[in-house]
Structure 1
Amino acid sequence: MNYKKVAMNQKIRQNNEKMPVLFIGHGSPINVISDNDFTRSLVKLGQNLPKPMAILVVSAHWLTDGTYVTCMDKPKTIHDFYGFPEKMYEITYPSPGAPDCAKFLAQSENIISCSTQWGLDHASWAVLKHMYPQADIPVFEMSLDYSFNDRNPKPVQYHYDLASKLKVLREKGVLIMGSGNIVHNLGMADYNMQAKPYDWAVEFDQKVKSNLLNGNVEDLINFENMGSSALYAVPTLDHYLPMIYSIALRDENEPVTFTYEGFQNGSISMRCFQIG
């Protein structure tokens, strides 16, 4: 018997309440020091959710060859952005890690590996700073396998299938959060955060909303089928894929609640939702 694996399993069963799943459109790092409708929605969300025993964040900002989870006791705060106010680089999020959860996941799925070289990038801590400002809940992060080759010829379907294997964590009290943006086109972004959103951005965002409500997973996976607006809304997959992880964790007939709807910088959808 693998006693070490059994011990990990027992530890992550300490809280067996089935946790909701989140998708957070995190937008610009500047939101970490901003007081706006979006950040206030995060504060409210943290207050209303059942307290998780750990949090797993699927990050748009950790792109790897293969899939990794952070397995350290004390993940470092990564300031993975440039040209922002100096005070943002002084912010830390000293939450404990969740190495038992991470190692359990890595041992359960042989395509997931442990990493001690990363930490928490701003897709994690800039959101959690508002939701759980005390940083007292263990957090671990999962990377996105960005190796689109023969091993991964249909990347969106690949990630959906992988994400569905994470459901066991929900039963063990782990809050899983995809952190990216449904519409994310930095090449067409306006420096004004309050800029009017582009028509194509609104169109694609609304189509995704409709598909989420209708449970139309096929079109969300094959997003190119949603029309020409998809070409502008999803020029790269990095920020779209975390949403795919969230919907893959949805059980049949589970409700989807939009905890925030809006845009920043004209080309970034800040839509957030909760499953369960």
Structure 2
Amino acid sequence: MASRLPVFFLSHGSPMHAVEPSAAATAWAVEAAQLPVPAAVLMVSAHWESNLPLLGGAAAPETIHDFGGFPAELYRLRYPAAGAPEIARQALALLREAGFPAGIEGCRGLDHGAWVPMMKMYPQADVPVLQLSVQPGLDAAHHLALGAALAPLREQGVLIVGSGHMTHNLRDWFHGASGGAGAYAHEFRDWVATRLASGDSRSLLEWAYKAPHAQRAHPTPEHFLPLFVALGAAGEGAQGKCFHEAFERGTLAMDAWRWD
């Protein structure tokens, strides 16, 4: 019988985490090493956006290099893990049972929001992986319900991972934080962390209106939405544990969370 696995939310950072030493990537690897080997990993990546929920159904997903301006070595990397078409079909059935007009995309590969963390968590590429898209045109409650619908997969040994960012203002990141300019990111992060630790998903659903500096921390919502899929899969009232906390250039929060 498969072990019931926890749920993760990772701030995946730059693709350079795949090739440079990184405290965040080390934390991902340490957490993964403590788990039973998953039957598959379901990655909810901020870098796959769609109008309705889509699951990756490729048997051998390609490695997508969905970024520009990085060193050539990054573009040579491949993450040759198998896909999980059967898990995709099971997930689709769960979503449709919950009323979602979902589908399977059979050709799409793994974007860097998926393969960079996977490369550190399972470097041998010996764990099947599939993705779920996010819908930036829909709200946090929609994504929470997605996660709740998919929660039964945990009982089958599927590790559900939301891969996004605790804060994601790349304009501020490029310019760096000086003279206290990054204080807003810390205030936003602390507000969210308090509610994750206490299991207060109700307040989190209203993050865009209630969290301090929400619009600056996330000028667009796609990097925050995977958090709500993770929360939904964790279950109502589940209290999270932060296993990595850091900031890059004072503005890009690299938090990683776990729910058991």
TM-score tier, shorter chain, comes to over 0.9
1:97, CA displacement in angstroms?
A: 0.4
Residue matched to 1:272:
256
In structure 2, which of residues 186, 198, 209 is the aligned counterpart of residue 202 of structure 1? Answer: 186
The question of whether the paired residues in 2 share the 8 Å contact of 1:190 and 1:266 is answered with no
**Quick check: 1:130 aligned with 2:114?**
no
- Give the whole-Å Cα distance in 2 for the aligned partners of 1:126 and 1:196: 31
Query: How far apart in 2 are the matches of 1:103 and 1:227?
Result: 36
Gaps in structure 2 of 5+ consecutive residues: none
The structure 1 segments of at least 4 consecutive aligned residues displaced by more than 6 Å after TM superposition are none
Q: Distance in 2 between matches of 1:252 and 1:107?
A: 22
Residue 56 (structure 2) aligned to one of 60, 63, 70 = 70
Match for residue 208 of structure 2?
Answer: 224
Q: Quote how far apart the aligned CAs of 1:196 are.
A: 7.8
Equivalent residue for 2:158?
Answer: 174
SS of the residue corresponding to residue 234 of structure 2 reads: coil
- Determine the structure 1 residue equivalent to 2:77: 91
The 3 A distance-change label for structure 1 pair 82 and 130 is same
The answer to whether the Cα contact below 8 Å between 1:219 and 1:225 also exists between their aligned partners in 2 is: no
Does residue 259 (structure 1) correspond to residue 235 (structure 2)? The answer is no
Deviation of residue 225 (structure 1)? Answer: 3.7
- The answer to whether the aligner puts 1:142 opposite 2:132 as a matched pair is yes
What is the total number of aligned residue pairs between the two structures?
256
Instruction: Confirm or deny: 8 A CA contact 1:41 1:260 kept in the other structure.
Output: yes
Q: Please tell me the residue identity of whatever aligns with 2:43.
A: V
Quote the offset at 1:266 in angstroms.
2.7
Partner of 1:19: 5
2:255 counterpart letter in structure 1: R
Q: 2:25 aligns with which of 39, 44, 49?
A: 39
CA distance in 2, matches of 1:179, 1:196: 28
For residue 107 of structure 2, what is the amino acid of its counterpart?
Q
State the SS of the aligned residue for 1:97: coil
Residue 215 of structure 1: aligned partner: 199
Deviation per residue, 1:240-276 (Å, 9 max, x gap): 0001111112235644221100111332110001100
Give distance in 2, aligned partners of 1:247 and 1:219. Answer: 12
TM-score (norm 1): 0.87
Q: 1:108 to 1:213 in 2, by over 3 A?
A: closer
Instruction: Tell me the secondary structure at the aligned position of residue 174 of structure 2.
Output: coil
- 1:195-248 deviation per Cα after TM superposition (whole angstroms, max 9, x unaligned): 987000000101111001111112211103434411211211100000111111
Q: Could you tell me whether the CA contact under 8 Å between 2:199 and 2:238 is conserved in 1?
A: no
Alpha-carbon distance, 1:158 to partner: 1.4
Specify the alignment match of 1:190 in structure 2: 174
**SS of equivalent to 1:249:** helix
1:158 to 142, 148, 163: 142
Number of the residue aligned with 1:236: 220
Structure 1 residue ranges without an equivalent (≥5)? 1-14
- Decide whether the 8 Å contact of 2:2 with 2:155 is kept in 1: yes
| Equivalent residue letter for 2:231 | I
Question: Equivalents in 2 of 1:242, 1:200: separation in Å?
Answer: 21
Q: 1:208 to 1:66 in 2, by over 3 A?
A: same
C-alpha RMSD of matched pairs (Å): 2.0
Q: Report whether the alignment pairs 1:120 with 2:106.
A: no
Say if 1:252 and 1:114 are closer, same or farther in 2 by CA, change over 3 A: closer
Q: For 1:128 and 1:191, how far apart are their aligned partners in 2?
A: 29
Task: Determine the C-alpha separation between the residues in 2 that align with 1:17 and 1:258.
Answer: 22
The answer to whether the 8 A contact 1:98-1:140 is kept is yes
How high is the sequence identity, in percent, across the aligned residues? Answer: 32
Which stretch shows the higher mean deviation, 75-84 or 258-267? 258-267
Are the equivalent residues in 2 in contact too, given 1:178–1:243 (CA < 8 A)? yes
Larger radius of gyration: 1
Q: Is the CA contact (8 Å cut-off) linking 2:192 and 2:211 kept in structure 1?
A: no
Counterpart Cα distance in 2 of 1:205 and 1:244? 15
